[in-house]
Amino acid sequence: MFLDNKRNGGSLVEFIVALGIFMIVGTGIILLVLGALQGNTNNTKRIEALFIVEEGVDAVKSVRDHNWGDLVNGEHGLTVTNGYWEFSGTSEAVGSYTRIITISDVERDLAGDIIDVGGVVDPRTKKATVLVTWLDSLLTLRSQMVSFYLHDWNVYDWTETTSTDFAGGVLSNVLVSGLGEAGKLNLALGQGLLARGGSFAVEDTDADFSVGTFTNTVVEGSGLATTIRLGTSAGWGVATWPDTKDIYDIEMLSPTSGWAVGESGKIFNYD
């Protein structure tokens, strides 16, 4: 009996080739299935993130409707208190997602159009951004974000375009400066000021200082710049102290001029 070695060798090669083709095809099928599953998972996560973003938008509008003053600039999380949405912390975890609400000022140009920088802040408009982030099946950071504007329409502003009402009133130590919308009230110059509920006063002349009696003091300057300082012509003052009282410090400015500090803060000048 004779064996055909060539035929047996050919069968082995055919088997190896077939096995390789099967492994390649099988691996491709597995990768396709895994990719489809991964894609479905990521799509599901993305749809869930969109719902969380939409919920955040509705929550921010609820905060606006409840109290416009709660729209404080910065990053916030959300919570429900007594049936109302409120800002809490700087972010919030919603399952495996993180949601951040950002509130910022809005600037407008002279035409009233919204601009990024260089305008005037509109106190009745805020910009809100809702950002939701998560990790996909490959631990890649993903995000969904939406920005929108909020307006406080339930208010009324009163603007005077003339200074008629100001100028027609009785003015007491005040002056009207400017015309139209630029008109404003200023304290009149040359008037003394009296603090409410106290007796502190500001004098704009040195008349009261000059007519007083000076004891080792002199007046320097005039008008609002007037000051009172210790005189330099007085010698050492005379005081009767017990032997236990000390002079804490002596500072001689020159051989004939100096200062001394005694107990209880008493100051003596030698000149």
- Whole-number pLDDT of residue 220: 76
For residues 110 and 115, give the distance between their C-alpha atoms in angstroms, rounded to a whole number: 10
pLDDT at 64: 94
d(CA 175, CA 163): 12
List phi, psi (to 5°) of 27.
-60, -40
Residue 263 burial (CB count, 10 A): 12
Digit-by-digit pLDDT tens for the chain (271 residues) are 444 555 555 566 666 766 677 677 667 666 665 555 555 667 889 999 999 999 999 999 999 999 999 999 999 999 999 999 999 999 999 999 999 999 999 999 999 899 999 999 999 999 999 999 999 878 889 999 999 999 998 777 777 777 777 667 777 777 777 777 677 777 776 555 554 555 556 666 767 666 667 777 777 777 667 777 776 665 555 555 555 566 667 777 777 777 777 766 677 776 6
For 127-140, the pLDDT digits (tens) are 999 999 999 878 88
Domains of the chain by residue range: 10-151, 234-271
DSSP 263: G
Q: How far is CA 226 from the centre of its chain?
A: 42
Our measurement of the distance from residue 176's CA atom to the centroid of its chain's CA atoms, rounded to an integer in Å, reads: 35
Phi, psi of 238 (to 5 degrees): -105, 125
- Determine the pLDDT at residue 48: 93
Give the predicted TM-score (pTM) of the model: 0.49
